[in-house]
Amino acid sequence: MKQLKLWTALITPMKQSGEIHFEDLEKLIRRQERAGNGILLIGSTGEGLALSASEKREIIAFADGLNLSVPVMAGVGGFQVDEQKDWIHYCNGKNVDALLLVAPLYAKPGVEGQKAWFRSLLDEAEKPCMIYNIPSRTGVKIPPSVLIDLKDHPNFWSVKEASGSINDYMEFREKLPDVPLFSGDDGLMPFFAAAGSAGLVSVASNVWPEETSFYVDCCLNGDTDSLFPVWKKAVEALFSAPNPVPAKVLLKLKGIIESEMLRLPLTAADVKEKQRLTKIDTEIINWYKNNKA
C-alpha cells in the first residue's frame, strides 16, 4: 500500500432529504485525489454509525468504480462482531486498500476482550489494518499491552491515536517503536510530529485538502513557527460543535456541497457562529498562500 502522510476522514454528503449525495461525494473524493491525500470512508467523521449496511456498501462500491490514484481506507466500527466480520468480508472483495478498526462501542471490554476483538477482525481482513484509539467515542482506552500482543499479526499496519493525550502517544511510541503512529487530532499534529508521528488522519483536510497537506509537511519537517495561532484557531472552529457538523457547515458555505444535512442526533443547528468558520477559512487560505514555497 502507498505510504501517505495524510488521510482525510471524509464526510458523507447528504441531500436535504437525508439520502447520500453521490454527486457531491465524487466531488469531495476528487478534491482529495488532486491533493494526493488518502481517503478514509465511513469513519466517525463520515457518520458511519448512522448509515445502514446497504448504504455503506453503496459508498464503497461507488468509490471502487472511480479508478482512484490514491488509496482508500474503510472504517469498521460497531459492537456486534459478526456484523463487523461481514463488513470486512465485503471490503475484502473491493478496491479498498486498508481498514480502520475501532474498539467495540459501549461494551468497554478489558484487555483480554480487546485482544480477542481485534484479533478476530485482523484474522478476517485481507488488507492492512489501522487500529484506532479514541476513548472519547468508545468509552475504553486501548492500552499498549493490547497492541504489543497484536503487533506481529500480518494485517496489523498502524495506529491512529486520538486520545487527546501527548503522554499516551509517547507511551505508544516507546513501546511500539516499529509501528507507524498517526495523529487522529489535527491540533496535536505539531507535537506528535516532533515525537516521530507517521502522519495525520484529518478532519480539517475535508475543507482544506492542499492546505492541510502543507500543514502536515510543516509539522513533519519541524517548520512550525507559522502554524500558531492560525491552525489552533482553525481546529477550535472545526470542533466548536460535534464533528463533522462544523466541517459540513463550512463546506456548504463554500459552495462545495449542496447541503449541510446530517443524520440525527447530529444537527447543523449546533453551529452558532458561522461567521467564525468563514473567517478562519480566509485565514487558512491566506496562510497557505503566504507560506507555500
Catalytic residue, candidates 160, 169, 215, 248: 160
Q: Answer for the pair 64, 26: CB distance below 8 angstroms, yes or no.
A: no
* Confidence tier at 11 by pLDDT (50, 70, 90): very high
Element (H, E) at 183: strand 181-183
Top-level class of domain 6-222: alpha beta
Phi/psi at 49 (5° precision): -75, -15
- Is 115 catalytic? The answer is no
Residue (of 283, 195, 288) closest to 237 by Cα position: 283
Q: Give CA–CA dist 210/35, Å, rounded.
A: 5
Q: Tell me the per-residue pLDDT of 95-110, one tens digit each, with 9 for 90 and over.
A: 999 999 999 888 899 9
- SS3 category, 1: coil
Alpha-carbon gap, residue 265 to 271, rounded angstroms: 14
In angstroms, the CA 13 to CA 19 distance is 9
- pLDDT tens-place string over residues 131-189: 999 888 888 899 999 999 999 999 999 999 998 888 888 999 999 999 999 999 999 99
Active site (annotated) includes residue 233 = no
Tens of pLDDT, residue by residue over 56-93, are 999 999 999 999 999 999 999 888 999 999 999 999 99
C-alpha cell at 111: 484487555
**Read out DSSP for 191-246?**
HHHHTT--EEEESGGGT-HHHHHHHHHHHHHT--GGGTTHHHHHHHHHTSSSTTHH
Q: Which of 56, 115, 132, 169 is catalytic?
A: 132
Are the C-beta atoms of 20 and 226 separated by less than 8 Å? no
**pLDDT tens, position by position, 188-207:** 999 999 999 999 999 999 99
**Domain positions in the chain:** 6-222
Cell of 211: 492546505
Asked if 9 contacts 242 with a C-beta cutoff of 8 angstroms, the reply is no
The yes-or-no verdict on residue 216 having pLDDT over 80 is: yes
DSSP 287: H
Which one-letter amino acid corresponds to residue 110? G
Q: Which residues are 202's β-sheet partners?
A: 8
Alpha helices in the chain (DSSP H): 22-35, 53-64, 81-92, 111-124, 135-138, 144-150, 166-175, 189-194, 209-221, 230-238, 245-253, 274-291
